[in-house]
Amino acid sequence: MMEHILENRRIALIAGHFERPPHRLNNIHEADAELVDLGDASALYLAATADALVEEVESGLYSDPALIGWMLAMANFSDLAAVGADPLGLLVAISSSPAQDEAYLARLAGGIAGACRTLHTYVLGGDTNEGGHLSLAGCALGLVPKDDVITRVGARPGDRIYLTGPAGLGSVYAFLRLSGRENDAGDSFYKPVARVTEGRLIRKFAACAMDTSDGLIHTLDTLMRLNRCQFVIEDNWERILHPLAGEVCRAQGIPPWVALAAVHGEFEVCFTIRPDREDALLSAAEAEGWSPVLIGRVDEGQVVSICKGEKHVPLDTTLIRNLAAAAGADPQAYIGKLLEIAREAGL
C-alpha cells in the first residue's frame, strides 16, 4: 500500500539499507516522530524527528528569512505535537553561502528563536557551515509518557476524525505565492504554530494522529493506508476550511476540497478518537479554550472519500499524492491537474 506513493519509494531506496532499531517503538511511516525507548527505568519515550527545508525555499514559497527560520522550527515541532511529546528543544544545521549576509542570518536566527519562544522551548545546539548554497535542517527532541504516546496507527471503523483547527491555509498561501496572485491580507496570514499544547491533550484521548504538514488529504491518505480503514470527510466546508481559505476558493472558483489536496499544509494535527472518548476530549479542550474541529468518521473500507448527503465519493488519493512529486517544478500545471481531478470526480 505505502509503496504506491512515489515519495515512499524514494524513502525506501535509502531507508531499506538501515536495520530496524530494536529500541524504536514505531515502524517506518508509523509515527510523525521516532519514538525511542529510554529503557525500562524510564516511563518516557524520547521523540525525535529531523526535517530539512528544501523545496519550500528553492521554489520561493518561503523567501523572507524570518519565515524560513520560523518554519524550520515549526515543521519539526509539529512532528512532536503529533506524537503528543513535550519538547526538549531543537538542533539546527545551517549552511549558508555568501549570498546570505549578516542581516539575512540574523533574521533567519530570529525566526527560529521566535518559534521556540512561542512554544516555550529552546534551541539546544547545532552546526553552522559556509558553503555554496543555503541549506537548512532541524531536529526536534521531546519526551512523551509511554502510557500516553500516540502514533499514526490505531484508527478503527466508528472513530470520529478531528482536526486541531480548520485547514487549507497552507495550500492557499502556496497558491497565492506561486501563482503571483494578490490577496488583501498579504501573505502574513501564514505563520503556523505547531500544535504542541493541543498534542499534549490529544495524547490522552486519541486513537491515532498525524500532522497536516503536506496537506489534509495527504494525511488522510497515509492514515487510510496504515490503518486499512475508510476515512470519510463530510462536505461541511464551512467548518473544515479556514475562513480565509474558503474566501480564496470562492474568489478563484476552486472547489473547497482542492485546498485540502495540495501538498503544502498548515501544521494542524489530524486525529481519530473512539466515540465513547469524544465527550471527555471536548470537555478537556473546552477547559483549555480550544475547539477541535470534527471533519468526518472512520468506516469499513480502504479509501478516502467525501460524504455528499447519502453518497460517498471516493478520491483517487494515490493519483493526487503522486502529482505532488512534480508540484514544485510547475505549480500552475499542478493546480490545473488537481482541478481536473475535481471535475472528473464531480466534486
For a copy of itself, which stretch binds (CB under 8 A), given 83-91, 159-167, 209-217, 235-243? Answer: 83-91
**Main-chain dihedrals φ then ψ at residue 287, nearest 5 degrees:** -60, -25
Tell me whether residue 91 or residue 313 sits nearer to a copy of itself (CB atom).
91
For a copy of itself, which stretch binds (CB under 8 A), given 53-61, 160-168, 278-286, 336-344? Answer: 53-61
Cβ atoms of residues 33 and 79 within 8 Å: yes
| Residues 305-334: x where in contact with a copy of itself by CB under 8 A, - otherwise, as a string | ------------------------------
Buried b or exposed e, range 7-28, using 16+ CB within 10 angstroms: ebeeeeeeeeeeeeeeebbbee
Residues within window 228-267 making contact with a copy of itself, judged by CB under 8 A = none
Binding of a copy of itself by 117 (CB under 8 A): yes
Nearest of 169, 207, 187, 211 to residue 51 by alpha carbon: 211
Helix (H) or strand (E) holding 323: helix 317-323
Question: Binding a copy of itself by CB under 8 A: which of 2, 143, 193, 284?
Answer: 143
- What three-state secondary structure class fits 56? helix
Nearest of 121, 163, 142, 337 to residue 266 by alpha carbon: 163
Closest CB 198 distance from a copy of itself, rounded Å: 23
Binding of a copy of itself by 141 (CB under 8 A): yes
Taking phi over 0 as left and psi of -120 to 50 as alpha, with beta for the rest, 4 belongs to alpha
Residues that bind a copy of itself (CB under 8 A): 10-11, 13-21, 23-24, 28, 33-34, 36, 38, 41-44, 46, 48-52, 54-55, 58, 88-89, 91-95, 102, 105-106, 108-110, 112-113, 116-117, 122-133, 135, 137, 139, 141, 143
